[in-house]
Amino acid sequence: MKKVLHISTECYPAAKAGGMADVVGSLPKYLIKQGWNTAVITPRYKLPWFDQQVFRNVYSGSFDMEGQMTLFDVYKAKKGTLPYDYYCIEILGRFDRDSIYLNEYGHGFHDEAERNVSFQRSVLQWLSDKKNKTSFDLLHCHDHQVGFIPFMVKKVPTFESIKDIPIYYTIHNGAYNSKYPWGRLDLLPKFDATDSQFIEWDGFIDASAAAMRFADHVNTVSPSYLEELKDQLPSMKFMSDKEPKKFTGTLNGIDNEVWNPKTDVLLTNKLTTTVDQFKKVNKGEILEGLYRLDGIPLIGFIGRFAHQKGGDLLVPAIERILVRFGFVNFFILGSGDHFIEQKVQELRDRYAERVACFIGYNETLAHKIYAASDFIVMPSRFEPCGLNQMFAMRYGALAIARKTGGLKDTVVDFELGGVGVSFDYDSVEDLINAMSRAMHLYKDQKRFKKLRSKAMKLDLSWDKSASEYSMNYKRLIEKMD
């Protein structure tokens, strides 16, 4: 059985900041079904999950980074902790924090460069050390945080022993990148100076450009996002023009075992009888204190308050819908931009009987909102794949989504034969129009329920996409053999 190691800074349930954790936590599980032996490695954070597991130290090492010794330990979780082997790297001072990326003010940690590069170097040092008996047939790197790995594997003499391992690189969000000035070159281990041209883009050391150049295969998390990125990211355009076959778009799936309304351990009220009853009891639980009547729709929003997610469009659009329709409730769960957080709270204060919000990150509440909602709104400016719309459909909430990236690939408008409400522009007006269409659809309960039941039956699981990854892995391994 061939072995694949997923290298990532997130993995659900160990450490989650967004959709990448869902993907890294579930794809390896579905790859096992495709005949792969899979494993995941992440940093070891000071998050509750890590304290609850039993780990065994399997390797200790050190290296010099910018003139300072970095010490690290590799731990392996007890068999059965997750459905695949799980490793984590401990680097004291760098990762033993109770947050994955952000400090208490919501800003990226000041030592993000040291954190990302030391994690990558530790993984490679462990893998390339002949004393280490654990080996893999393919490395799958997730996003720019581990984007120097393809270059380091192929060009750094210290890692010579693993230079022939094929490397897969997945772009979960092309808007984020690790870019450093040349003064930070000593973060990386020594390599032939003439190779430094290969990690350069626009005058910087650029992890994403280096990854696209040196990975054996690159994919984005939806086909539409691949095309959009080619327009938006000059490095992607350049590399994909040179090697078009190397770049593909594979839609994310969802973990049907975690996201199952009948068995979801985070739900107090699981789906046991009818969907109407399921919605009613879940609304009852989370809308306590709100004005409720049977037949009032609930529209939910779950996500980061970032420009990408269109959080700034939400408040003015919701206000118009509240004024126009009266009978509608909203639940907003999210955090990020403090200005949007404040606007959401002000909206809740103005419409306390019809708007609920929770500012922060709360996994359990997210599950409950999907279960209670009739619609989930996603006014994203761009969306590499988006998972919320898929979780929502599985829990009987239709998506109101902007036609971009993965949303374009997964949400088809109900007037065009689909089961969602989609809209074109990232404007307050278009969002109002879409929500208003959703309100009218909800009034036609017969039609709404038919669409809802169709949405709940869609196969959104990883099976299809995992077989696409599997096929690509096989091709790369055969090429190297």
Contact footprint for ligand ADP (CB under 6 A): 18-20, 22, 173, 302-304, 333-335, 361-363, 366, 385-388
For residue 303, give the H/E element and its range. Answer: strand 298-305
Length of the chain: 481
- Nearest CA among 40, 50, 30 for reference residue 4: 40
Can you tell me the distance from the alpha carbon of 293 to that of 385, in angstroms, rounded to the nearest whole number?
35
- 70 vs 373, which CB is nearer to ligand ADP? 373
Question: What is the nearest approach in angstroms of ligand ADP to the Cβ of residue 360?
Answer: 6
Question: What is the nearest approach in angstroms of ligand ADP to the Cβ of residue 389?
Answer: 8
Report the DSSP beta bridge partners of residue 305.
336
- 399 vs 421, which CB is nearer to ligand ADP? 399
- Phi/psi at 178 (5° precision): -105, 110
- Nearest CA among 205, 213, 139 for reference residue 177: 205
- 108 vs 181, which CB is nearer to ligand ADP? 108
Question: What is the nearest approach in angstroms of ligand ADP to the Cβ of residue 254?
Answer: 9
Can you tell me the distance from the alpha carbon of 264 to that of 430, in angstroms, rounded to the nearest whole number?
34
Can you tell me the distance from the alpha carbon of 407 to that of 386, in angstroms, rounded to the nearest whole number?
6
Can you tell me the distance from the alpha carbon of 475 to that of 473, in angstroms, rounded to the nearest whole number?
5
CA distances from 208 to 240, 306, 380 (A): 13, 21, 23
- 90 vs 143, which CB is nearer to ligand ADP? 143
Question: What is the nearest approach in angstroms of ligand ADP to the Cβ of residue 387?
Answer: 4
- 344 vs 366, which CB is nearer to ligand ADP? 366
How many other C-beta atoms lie within 10 A of the C-beta of residue 426? 17
Report the DSSP beta bridge partners of residue 400.
377, 421
- Residue type at 66 in one-letter notation: E
Residue nearest ligand ADP (C-beta atom): 19
- 213 vs 309, which CB is nearer to ligand ADP? 309
- 363 vs 424, which CB is nearer to ligand ADP? 363
Question: What is the nearest approach in angstroms of ligand ADP to the Cβ of residue 412?
Answer: 18
CA distances from 481 to 192, 266, 475 (A): 26, 45, 10
Can you tell me the distance from the alpha carbon of 467 to that of 27, in angstroms, rounded to the nearest whole number?
10
Question: What is the nearest approach in angstroms of ligand ADP to the Cβ of residue 306?
Answer: 8
Question: What is the nearest approach in angstroms of ligand ADP to the Cβ of residue 404?
Answer: 12
- 39 vs 100, which CB is nearer to ligand ADP? 100
- 73 vs 264, which CB is nearer to ligand ADP? 264
Can you tell me the distance from the alpha carbon of 381 to that of 428, in angstroms, rounded to the nearest whole number?
12
Question: What is the nearest approach in angstroms of ligand ADP to the Cβ of residue 67?
Answer: 36
Can you tell me the distance from the alpha carbon of 302 to that of 367, in angstroms, rounded to the nearest whole number?
10
Question: What is the nearest approach in angstroms of ligand ADP to the Cβ of residue 333?
Answer: 5
